[in-house]
């Protein structure tokens, strides 16, 4: 564990460095409050700090206050042990109210310092464990437990965020729905466990065909939503066709053997003035068109004028027809 030492007196600083090093800690030493403040920035900064009260540039209590004021923007908690020759009760109160976690009066007993540092280390480690547990809960709340993709809530939240971003940056945004054809037959013929294998394999193939910043998640049984930032409709149709081929080009391996699956896709582009519901509804109608035209194909539905829409079939067909 790394500990920051902020002490302007060279002798006191060297004593602290020697003791901490002897006890197995890595030490980052600074000689004033401004240096200490800089050293405590960033995700890799020490999580335990020993601060002298009286220092040039910025004293210990002021440094404590600044760290606590910026707590919300920091990735971790910094445990602070304040060192001072001021031993009056009001000084203790002032230091703790400034944000210090512990307080030790000089001259200090090395064993007392060691015990207090160990207590601080336990708190830092518990805080890190709590933070990791909270992050894992957040991840689980956003993840489909079967496939590992984003779940319905998470992918819809991401779509909302991408709509807001596209509006701010005046960029294109496309979205599509992927639906596995005749998936009920897969479950009926091979069993639900084989169907689960197909869903997991589908997610793997789709992920391998998308860009790092594209968004993909499961929104229903065999139905998935894909969000394509900074992508016009022409690009979205190309991506959708790539996904269709990735899913259908070869049989999928299941514990019941190989299963061949195809997919239908409906894609659309954000108009720049609509909300999430109308965008998804239009993608869903494009998917319905793909199903109605025989499945295993891509259909695109776009708004041409207010109240008027057009359907563009899968890219290689190059057909455009009115949709009413």
Q: Is the pLDDT of residue 128 over 60?
A: yes
Kind of pairing between the strands at 2-6 and 48-52: parallel
CA distance 186 to 189: 5
Q: Is the pLDDT of residue 71 over 80?
A: no
Element at 33 (helix H, strand E) = helix 33-39
Hey, what domains does the chain have and what are their CATH numbers? 2-142 (3.40.50.2300), 152-323 (3.30.70.270)
**208 by DSSP, 3-state: which?**
coil
Residue 235 pLDDT: 96
Residue 70 pLDDT: 81
Q: Name residue 52's beta-bridge partners.
A: 83
Q: What is the mean pLDDT of residues 116-122?
A: 96
CA distance 88 to 91: 5
User: Of 192, 317, 318, 314, whose CA–CA distance to 248 is shortest?
Assistant: 314
CA distance 105 to 38: 25
Could you give the residue numbers annotated as active site? Answer: 222
Q: How confident is the model at residue 302 (pLDDT cuts 50, 70, 90)?
A: confident
Q: How is residue 302 written in tokens?
A: 């776009």
Q: How many helices (H) and strands (E) does the chain have?
A: 10, 14
Half-sphere exposure of 320 (CA within 13 A, CB side): 6
Q: How is residue 79 written in tokens?
A: 């445990």
């Amino acid at each position: 564990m790394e500990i920051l030492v902020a002490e302007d007196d060279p002798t006191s600083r060297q004593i602290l460095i020697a003791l901490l090093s002897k006890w197995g800690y890595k030490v980052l030493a600074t000689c004033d409050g401004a240096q200490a403040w800089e050293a405590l920035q960033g995700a890799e900064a020490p999580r335990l700090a020993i601060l002298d009260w009286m220092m040039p540039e910025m004293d210990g209590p002021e440094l404590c206050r600044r760290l606590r004021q910026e707590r919300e923007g920091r990735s971790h908690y910094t445990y602070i042990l304040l060192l001072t020759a001021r031993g009056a009760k009001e000084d203790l109160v002032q230091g703790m109210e400034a944000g210090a976690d512990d307080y030790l009066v000089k001259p200090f007993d090395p064993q007392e310092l060691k015990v207090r540092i160990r207590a601080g280390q336990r708190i830092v480690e518990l805080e890190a464990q709590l933070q990791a547990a909270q992050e894992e809960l957040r991840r689980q709340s956003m993840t489909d437990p079967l496939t590992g993709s984003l779940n319905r809530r998470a992918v819809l939240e991401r779509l909302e965020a991408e709509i807001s971003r596209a509006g701010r940056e005046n960029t294109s945004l496309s979205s599509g729905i992927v639906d596995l054809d005749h998936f009920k037959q897969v479950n009926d013929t091979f069993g639900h466990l084989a169907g689960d294998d197909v869903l997991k394999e589908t997610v793997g193939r789709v992920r391998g065909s998308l860009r790092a910043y594209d968004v993909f998640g499961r929104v229903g049984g065999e139905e998935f939503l894909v969000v394509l930032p900074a992508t016009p409709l022409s690009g979205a149709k190309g991506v959708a066709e790539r996904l269709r081929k990735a899913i259908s080009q070869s049989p999928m391996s299941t514990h019941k053997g190989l299963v061949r699956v195809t997919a239908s896709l409906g894609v659309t582009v954000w108009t720049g003035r609509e909300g999430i519901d109308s965008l998804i509804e239009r993608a869903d109608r494009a998917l319905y068109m793909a199903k109605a035209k025989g499945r295993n194909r891509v259909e695109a539905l776009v708004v041409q004028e207010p109240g008027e829409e057009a359907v563009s079939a899968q890219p290689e067909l190059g057909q455009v027809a009115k949709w009413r």
